[in-house]
Structure 1
């Protein structure tokens, strides 16, 4: 998110300033937070296609959730585009977990 905002301000020059504000956890009362509280956080989807069905059934009144089905063509690949402009700043390492018999 920060790289994208940097890109909009410094590279594309679309904005002169972008301010991001982060609410304190559990102290936001916006409409999207109220809607998100209706969804069972313990739900485990077996396959990704279970999620739209679950959200459609999560609330019936006063109005049901509207689920818009999207494929990957709808989303842009910002990571690939921004990787050409920014060098990685963090070294990542992979851990290996293995079960061994005593």
Structure 2
């Protein structure tokens, strides 16, 4: 289990990313559409003034049940430990334990 503080910090990051998403996209579109290099640098400064945590790349995938960040399966939103337990309990339809 992840610490509760880590889970809360990640929730705040998600809110911050959503808050600045439109502004960030507009600035990036302006950078790509401008012709002069000086103008691109001016617009780039606007992008740098935005909070660093508002970048989408700063988000971390976490298990929705335990909050674990490593061993994350994107298809289910679960960590490998929880996925294995739920598979053994037949809680995930269509998933079976491999045997050969």
Structure 2 length-normalised TM: 0.22
Higher helix share: 2
Bigger relative contact order, structure 1 or 2 (CA pairs below 8 A, ≥6 apart): 2
